[in-house]
Chain A
Amino acid sequence: MEKSSSSSSSRSLEVTIISAENLRKNHRSIKKNAFVTLETDPNNSQSTSMADSIGGSYPSWNEKFELTLPYNLRYIRLEVKCKTATGVKTIGSVNIPISDLLEDFIPPSCLHHLSYRLRERDGDRNGIINLSIRMKGADSYVPRPSPYMRVQTGYKINSNACRSMPMLPTGIRQTAYNNTGGIAMGIPVSKGYGLVL
């Protein structure tokens, strides 16, 4: 993606595409090869890798992207797609208003976890896309002390703080039984998700 020539007229946004839930195509759960594209305009598009069959209709990517947002940009478009034998099919899409990112309660520089309902072309509901975002750069927000709260020492956050959902996978793996036939679906156990092994 080409960066805008004028940094003063744009903002930088870090987006992590985490996962999706219950993706269906023609009322059937998809099995594999789902990916997500992010667009700030039709000429600027980025994509995740394709999820394999481990997640099935609940794929997980955990991929980070950095977007440059023009100040007049109204929304970011996300499309969830699936590669099939007959080509790439769009599962669902959502236009995420910039106002959802900037007018949230959480300061823009803090990590936001967001979920959105995907819609098909005809407006029918499909699954849910989960992501996290954080504004970067000159727009970083330094909160002022609040009269409501007394500042205390903080708490410990594990390194993978961007994850918004429990039991997210940390890698792609093949089950021992894929060779028995059929399509394996599901999500493997995550490692290190706030739990002591």
Chain B
Amino acid sequence: MGWYRKYLTRGQQAVGGGGGGGGSGPYQQQQHQNPTTSGTVEGTTATNDAVDFFYRSHGQQALFTPLELSLSASKLRDRDILSKSDPMAVGYIKRKDGTLEEIGRTEVIMNTLEPVWIGKFSIAYQFEIVQPLVFRVYDVDTKYHNLPVESLKLKEQEFLGEATCVLSQIVTKPSKTLDLKLQRKDGHGAIIDLGSLHVHAEEEISSRQAFEMIFHCTQLENMDLFSKSDPFLRVSKIVEGGNVIPICKTEVVKDNLNPIWKPICLTMQQFGGKDNPLLIECFDFESSGNHELIGKLQKSVADLEILYQERVGANFLKASSVRHDHMKSLKSQLFVDEFCNKTLYSFLDYISSGFELNFMVAVDFTASNGNPRLPDSLHYIDLSGRLNAYQQAIFEVGEVIQFYDSDKHFPAWGFGGRTSDGVVSHCFNLNGNPSESEVDGVNGIMSAYSNALHHVTLAGPTLFGQVINKAAQIATQSVSYNQRKYNVLLIITDGVLTDLQETKNALVKASDLPLSILIVGVGGADFKEMEILDADNGKRLQSSTGRIATRDIVQFVPMREVHAGGQISIIQALLQELPGQFLTYMRSKNIVPHF
């Protein structure tokens, strides 16, 4: 998928480098490393802006959150004659094709109808996808009690009931505990209740751990002829096989051989463990992108902590100019001026403390979509039930976000259409109600959209400003009343924007609000203006008054790059940045979860 590759490429550019080369060890790499940074006219200025903005935009958010699921049950059926049941629970992930992938089994607890299992299931929480889970409880026959649970054949056990849910349903509960009904179908298809299953989710403590450090170097080698070096650091994780994966990069400090960099923050998820080796490389920045290696060293986070505690430096190494296989110790040294162990509140911490995501939708009704009655129209409603691109975007985004809104009342608008009063509107209620824009659930959005196609005439032009302002007004209420709401506006459009500056102005004003905007492009138009709004290139949006966006709140994806059978949906890529944007807002406002 081209967009996804492009997205990754931009991310790499923003962070300042690709991975190091392969090999049996990090010190056998070439003498001059070239972390590829795209050169720009503004050189270090643009690079530093991009780095700073990249980190703030991404909120130091990992792509997934490891969770542990604990299970207990109550009111189980007693299947034994002379004693109570001996229950065991099995957990599954339900794949898209409907098959079940086992994720674990609990131990067997003997002689109880209200088991509290000690064994836990580990699962990686991903915000951007729906993660359906299935739990089955069995009464294990006495003759199998001495066998490892992994070896048990489930068909030989007594089935006590099944429960299904989505992982989001668990993590959005205030206590992160979801009560489910255990059920099965009888021979006639009727559902029989067989007790209750209680599922509790807990984040692994290590996933919240982060370390903030300030690095300082002395006596760096001068790589420039007429001035001093412009150094920056790159921190990489060394993985099996000796490959290095960049995880962090400092800003460039110009013309300085004894720099102190701004703090960097590393999460445990980024480097895996305090004792895992990290490669720290110091480069002299070159606007051409061919940065020159000043020196490097290998330390774990635990080693860095020791450097901090003992107030000593570590010497950089560099391949000897005489013997390239020999590493020469340099006079240059790295010091750790600050080292703080911190607990980062995660996205799920906020959600479980009561914060919600308020989903809003805006649909493009401009004439460029084509006559909805014709099959080649982007708004064509296929009677066979196949979803058009608009419906697909609404459904795929909505089915994820809906779990984070308790009342599931979603504002839904259209823009660029001529409504029944004969006027072209750039923000009209999709449900046709002039005074109320909310609809019930994702199905309500889909119904309102389909109905609107019968009552609204496609017109134009394509303007975003009004719907963004409308969403911002709603987000303003969250601020005014200190509500635990973060707002997400999905804009689905086919066309080229005609109010680019007005849209930029609206986005800059909205960037200080609890609001994110997801833009999905459908059809075959040129979406270059959308990519400007996306700001993934590190260039912050600027209003006509010179105001700079406080943070990046826009994510754009062109729907046309979806390929049948693709492993990763474009919508998933669209959504996965949302927790990071949420966290960036919360942290910038110093808002903490209130447990």
Could you tell me which A residues sit within 8 Å of B by CB distance? 21-22, 24, 28-29, 56, 58, 94-97, 99-100, 104-107, 110, 112-117, 119, 128, 143, 146-158, 160-161, 163-167, 175-177, 180-190, 193-197
Contacts and interface: CB of A to CB of B under 8 A. Distances in A.
Contacts of B210: 195
A108 to B, nearest CB: 11
A184 B335 CA distance: 12
B146 interface: no
A106 B216 contact: no
B479 A110 contact: yes
A80 to B, nearest CB: 14
Top 10 A-B residue pairs of the complex, sorted by shortest distance between their CB atoms:
A182-B258, A154-B482, A186-B260, A115-B548, A156-B594, A143-B480, A149-B477, A196-B343, A158-B590, A189-B338
Size range of the interface on B? 35 or more
B22 to A, nearest CB: 33
Contacts of B45: 22, 24
Interface stretch (B297-305, B451-459, B509-517): B509-517
Contact of A104 (B335, B478, B482, B509): B509
B207 to A, nearest CB: 14
B550 A115 contact: yes
B218 A177 contact: yes
A157 B591 contact: yes
B86 interface: no
A contact face: mostly helix, strand, loop, or mixed: loop
Interface stretch (B129-137, B156-164, B468-476, B572-580): B468-476
18 contacts: A58-B262, A113-B550, A115-B550, A146-B477, A149-B481, A152-B484, A157-B589, A158-B590, A167-B262, A175-B337, A177-B258, A177-B337, A182-B257, A185-B253, A186-B253, A188-B337, A188-B338, A195-B344
Nearest to A166: B587
Interface in B243-287: 253-263, 265
A21 B590 CA distance: 20
A116 B485 CA distance: 27
A149 B255 contact: no
Interface of B: 45, 48-49, 52, 56, 210, 212, 214, 216, 218, 253-263, 265, 311, 335, 337-338, 340-345, 353-355, 407, 411, 436-438, 469, 472-485, 509-510, 512-513, 540, 542-543, 545-550, 584, 586-594
B480 A107 contact: yes
B585 to A, nearest CB: 10
A196 B342 contact: yes
A186 B251 CA distance: 9
Nearest to B339: A189
Contact of B475 (A105, A152, A185, A189): A105
A23 B483 CA distance: 37
Q: Which of B254, B474, B482, B512 has the most CB of A within 10 A?
A: B512
Contacts of A100: 543, 545, 547
Which of A28, A155, A163, A189 counts the most chain B CB atoms within 10 A? Answer: A155
Contact of B588 (A112, A152, A156, A166): A166
A101 to B, nearest CB: 10
Given A56-B253, A105-B513, A117-B546, A194 B591 contact: yes
Contacts of B49: 21-22
Contacts of A155: 353-355, 482, 484, 591-594
B254 A28 contact: yes
Contacts of B263: 167, 186-190
B550 A164 contact: yes
Given A149-B477, A155-B482, A195 B342 contact: yes
A117 B545 contact: no
B587 to A, nearest CB: 5
Contacts of A29: 253-255
A197 B480 CA distance: 30
A53 B341 CA distance: 26
Contacts of B478: 149
A97 B545 contact: yes
Contact of A106 (B56, B311, B340, B513): B513
B590 A186 contact: no
Contacts of B343: 195-197
Nearest to A21: B52
B429 to A, nearest CB: 12
Contacts of B590: 157-158, 160-161, 163, 193-194
Contacts of A187: 214, 262-263
A157 B586 CA distance: 10
A194 B345 contact: yes
Given A113-B512, A157-B589, A94 B475 contact: no
B292 to A, nearest CB: 19
B259 A186 contact: yes
B521 to A, nearest CB: 26
A184 B216 CA distance: 8
A19 to B, nearest CB: 11
B344 A106 contact: no
